[in-house]
């Protein structure tokens, strides 16, 4: 008689349901915090802001096209972190507004394909295997030559 | 007989309710505490400091409140360095207990000594 009452409320199925609910809550909470702790998009945006700001301020196309131009020195970036750690990428494309002259500067792990794929989908792929990318276009004016240039910057971060 | 049957039923229901309360209390405590555990705080602050270093333009001085870290370290009886900056590897490491702590990279080239701790204000001073 006693067994029947216990079985009705404390059956093995009840414990199984609690286990399923418990595991679901734990997984949900851990997933929530892992997504919240994903700052790759913010990092990529910070890198794009840094590059855009340092290139377009007092823009001089002649200086940038020089063979000894050092983007890391100019923008106060640590070259080693871009070369040794596979966590950052940048690509700067400078095009004259009328002519097709073009200067490309890039650094870090080459994630151009991954970034182009993300931009094509028009949404950030939240999967962990892909880096998070940002794209920023700005106009720069070279006061020495009185010419306008389009500075297109793609940056990515894959630091988890 | 009938009274014994209903008594068993009541005992079963009470047991069921007590176990439910215990289970959901554990879940509530887990959900409430998981975000404030040492390892989460270490990760959060290592990211926060690295992002603060990278976000601001060179020449800026930033202050980050780290009083929360001091109280966690005190609770863990940890007396070592809470914030460690590796200027060669561009890495911020936050430690609130003995162990490896949590590290996060930044891309800005900082001069050695650019990050210091104001013990009185319990704040991290970053000179980018």
Domain ranges of chain B: 1-34, 38-127
Q: What are the residues whose beta carbons fall under 8 Å from the beta carbon of A159, sequence distance 6 or more? A: A39, A40, A43, A87, A88, B104, B105
Do residues A51 and A117 both lie within one domain?
A: yes
- Do A23 and A83 share a domain, yes or no? no
Question: Is A64 in the same domain as A44?
Answer: yes
**Mutation site, B107, B109, B110, B127, interface A, largest A CB count within 10 A:** B107
Residues in chain B: 128
Tell which of A4, A13, A18 to mutate to test the B interface (max B CBs under 10 Å). A18
A47 and A25 housed in the same domain? no
Q: Are residues A53 and A106 in the same domain?
A: yes
Are the beta carbons of B34 and A9 separated by less than 8 Å?
no
Same domain, A46 and A29: no
Q: pLDDT for A60-94, tens place per residue?
A: 888 888 888 888 998 889 988 888 888 999 999 88
For A8, the token pair is 């009705």
Assess whether A20 and A98 both reside in one domain.
Answer: no
Number of H helices, E strands in chain B: 3, 6
Q: Domain range for residue A10?
A: 2-35
A129 and A58 within one domain: yes
Residue A86 shares a structural domain with residue A147: yes
Total domains in the fold of chain A: 2
Regarding whether A134 and A103 lie in a shared domain, the answer is yes
- Examine the domain organization and report whether A15 and A66 are in the same domain: no
**pTM of the entire predicted model:** 0.79
Looking at the predicted complex, does its ipTM rise above 0.85? no
pLDDT tens, position by position, B2-37: 577 777 778 888 888 898 899 889 988 888 877 677
Q: Does A5 touch chain B (CB under 8 A)?
A: yes
Q: Which residue of A has its CA nearest to B37?
A: A33
Alpha helices in A57-136 (DSSP H): 61-64, 71-74, 79-84, 112-121
């Amino acid at each position: 008689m006693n067994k029947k009452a216990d079985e009705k409320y404390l059956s093995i199925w009840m414990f199984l349901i609690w286990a399923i609910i418990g595991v679901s809550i734990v997984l949900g909470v851990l997933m929530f915090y892992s997504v919240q702790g994903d700052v790759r998009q913010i990092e990529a945006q910070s890198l794009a802001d840094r590059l855009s700001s340092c290139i377009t301020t007092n823009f001089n196309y002649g200086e940038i096209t020089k063979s000894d131009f050092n983007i890391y020195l100019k923008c106060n970036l640590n070259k080693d972190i871009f070369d040794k750690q596979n966590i950052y990428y940048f690509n700067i494309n400078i095009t004259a507004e009328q002519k097709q002259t073009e200067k490309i500067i890039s650094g870090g792990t080459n994630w151009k394909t991954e970034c182009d794929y993300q931009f094509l989908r028009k949404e950030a792929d939240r999967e962990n295997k892909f880096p998070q990318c940002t794209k920023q276009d700005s106009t720069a004016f070279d006061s020495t030559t009185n010419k306008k240039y389009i500075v297109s910057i793609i940056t990515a971060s894959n630091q988890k | 007989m009938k009274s014994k049957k209903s008594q068993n039923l009541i005992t079963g229901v009470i047991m069921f309710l007590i176990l439910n309360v215990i289970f959901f209390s554990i879940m509530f405590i887990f959900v409430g505490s998981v975000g404030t555990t040492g390892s989460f705080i270490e990760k959060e602050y290592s990211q926060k400091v690295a992002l603060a270093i990278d976000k601001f333009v060179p020449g800026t001085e930033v202050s980050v409140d780290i009083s929360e870290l001091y109280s966690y370290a005190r609770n863990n009886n940890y007396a070592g360095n809470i914030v460690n900056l590796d200027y060669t590897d561009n890495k911020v490491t936050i430690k609130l207990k003995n162990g490896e702590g949590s590290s996060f990279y930044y891309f800005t080239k900082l001069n050695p000594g650019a990050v210091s701790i104001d013990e009185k204000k319990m704040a991290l001073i970053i000179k980018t």
